[in-house]
């Protein structure tokens, strides 16, 4: 509905004609908001007409003029503080303790429902932009965030039996991380791999049985080297991921996908990586010690969800 009343303003100076100025009131029905545009004409001290633009009122009822700018400045100083990384890790530790089997890393779906508030708080906290004290703290934050996003998806789709049944699980579903929306693939390939430490890839939990098992403790920048070494030892010596049988190395397909990431120091390839973490006296360690250039077969990756 539009109403246009006539407002008359007369000049004080004798001989001047009366100027009629339309005053517009525009009401937008049905959308729950209104916009008012006004234009006033006033006299200056020298008798000339001057035009003053009245600030426009936004749909939320706030002025976009000087008062609004003042309010915005005040609001900018009242932005919520970043949640400390230690607090995020504390909440994440609660989720992991309640929902991850320490024996095989399987996710206990029935326990996830009790961790909704922790998960929501964590998702909100990792979304905000922040800076880091060093590269290790940054990498630990990225690994934890990736794993948090995966767990949140498993909680949302508890009846999925295979992660590929969840459309766009890795390449289309986006998550807010450090101020930007990113897919799991972008976090892995664009951030974790760019860290230059291939061990970080072994710390990422993809939600599947074929994936390295999730750590039962959050990664922390101060102890990241020891944590990544422990995670790599666990993965390399897991018989469902890597073993030696009848003169052949049977290895996780994950190592084939990321083979080039392990080419540099200190591993000089995936065989060097396996030698570095194979437990002393294990079948894998004995085979790697005896064979100069072992025969390698990569095991088909198991995309079944690692839940119970």
| Peptide bond just before 74 cis, omega within 30 deg | no
Domain boundary among 18, 52, 76: 76
Q: Are residues 23 and 92 in the same domain?
A: no
Number of domains into which the chain is organized: 2
Domain that holds residue 39: 2-76
Residue 308 lies in a domain: no
User: What does residue 11 show for φ and ψ, rounded to 5 degrees?
Assistant: -70, 145
Neighbours of 255 (CB within 10 A): 26
Could you give the CA distance from residue 57 to residue 68 in angstroms, rounded to a whole number? 10
- pLDDT tens column, 104-156: 899 998 998 889 999 999 999 999 999 999 999 999 999 999 999 999 999 99
DSSP label of 269: S
Q: Are the CB atoms for 249 and 239 separated by under 8 Å? A: no
Q: Are the CB atoms for 150 and 94 separated by under 8 Å? A: no
Q: Are the CB atoms for 262 and 255 separated by under 8 Å? A: yes
More confident residue, 34 or 128: 128
Q: Are residues 149 and 284 in the same domain?
A: yes
Q: Are the CB atoms for 144 and 92 separated by under 8 Å? A: yes
Could you give the CA distance from residue 93 to residue 90 in angstroms, rounded to a whole number? 5
Domain boundary among 47, 76, 105: 76
Q: Are residues 38 and 111 in the same domain?
A: no
Could you give the CA distance from residue 233 to residue 243 in angstroms, rounded to a whole number? 13
Helix/strand/coil percentages in the chain, nearest 5: 40, 15, 40
Cα dist from 235 to 152, 193, 204, 209, whole Å:
23, 18, 11, 12
**What residues form DSSP beta bridges with 305?**
208
Domain boundary among 18, 50, 76: 76
Q: Are residues 99 and 136 in the same domain?
A: yes
Quote the percentage of the chain above a pLDDT of 90: 64
Residue 268 lies in a domain: yes
Q: Are residues 247 and 167 in the same domain?
A: yes
Could you give the CA distance from residue 295 to residue 273 in angstroms, rounded to a whole number? 16
Residue 306 lies in a domain: no
| Residue recorded with tokens 């399987």 | 106
For the chain, give the mean pLDDT.
81
Q: Are residues 216 and 282 in the same domain?
A: yes
**What residues form DSSP beta bridges with 52?**
40
Q: Are residues 62 and 97 in the same domain?
A: no
Could you give the CA distance from residue 66 to residue 190 in angstroms, rounded to a whole number? 42
Q: Are residues 120 and 256 in the same domain?
A: yes
- pLDDT tens column, 177-203: 999 999 999 999 999 999 999 999 999
Q: Are residues 101 and 156 in the same domain?
A: yes
Residue 307 lies in a domain: no
- pLDDT tens column, 202-221: 999 999 999 999 999 999 99
Neighbours of 174 (CB within 10 A): 14
Residue 129 lies in a domain: yes
Q: Are residues 185 and 224 in the same domain?
A: yes
- pLDDT tens column, 250-284: 999 999 999 999 999 999 999 999 999 999 999 89
Residue 277 lies in a domain: yes
- Averaged over 157-168, what is the pLDDT? 93
Checking if the pLDDT of 40 tops 80, the result is no
Cα dist from 110 to 3, 100, 114, 115, 207, whole Å:
60, 11, 8, 10, 16
Residue 246 lies in a domain: yes
Q: 289: pLDDT confidence band, cut at 50, 70 and 90?
A: confident
- Averaged over 58-79, what is the pLDDT? 48
Q: Are residues 51 and 200 in the same domain?
A: no
Q: Are residues 158 and 238 in the same domain?
A: yes
Residue 304 lies in a domain: no
């Amino acid at each position: 509905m539009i109403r246009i009343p006539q407002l008359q303003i007369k000049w004080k100076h004798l001989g001047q004609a009366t100027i009629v100025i339309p005053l517009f009131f525009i009401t937008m029905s049905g959308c729950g908001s209104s916009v008012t545009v006004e234009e006033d004409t006033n006299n200056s001290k020298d008798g000339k007409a001057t035009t003053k633009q009245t600030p426009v009122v936004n749909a939320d009822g706030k002025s976009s003029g000087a008062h609004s700018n003042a309010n915005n400045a005040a609001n900018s100083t009242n932005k919520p503080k970043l949640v400390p990384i230690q607090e995020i890790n504390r909440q994440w530790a609660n989720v992991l303790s309640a929902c991850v089997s320490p024996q095989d890393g399987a996710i206990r779906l029935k326990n996830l429902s009790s961790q909704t508030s922790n998960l929501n708080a964590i998702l909100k906290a990792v979304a905000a932009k922040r800076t880091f004290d060093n590269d290790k703290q940054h990498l630990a934050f990225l690994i934890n965030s990736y794993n948090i996003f995966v767990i949140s998806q498993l909680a949302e789709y508890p009846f999925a039996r295979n992660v590929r049944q969840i459309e766009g699980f890795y390449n289309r579903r986006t998550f807010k991380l450090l101020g930007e929306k990113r897919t799991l693939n972008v976090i892995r390939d664009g951030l974790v791999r760019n860290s230059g430490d291939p061990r970080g890839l072994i710390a990422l939990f993809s939600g599947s049985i074929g994936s390295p098992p999730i750590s039962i403790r959050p990664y922390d920048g101060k102890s990241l080297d020891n944590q990544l070494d422990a995670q790599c030892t666990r993965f390399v010596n897991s018989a469902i991921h890597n073993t030696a049988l009848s003169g052949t190395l049977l290895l996780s397909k994950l190592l084939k996908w990321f083979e080039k990431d392990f080419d540099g120091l200190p591993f000089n390839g995936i065989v060097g990586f396996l030698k570095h973490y194979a437990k002393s006296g294990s079948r894998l360690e004995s085979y790697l010690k005896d064979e100069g250039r072992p025969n390698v077969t990569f095991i088909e990756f198991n995309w079944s969800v690692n839940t119970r």
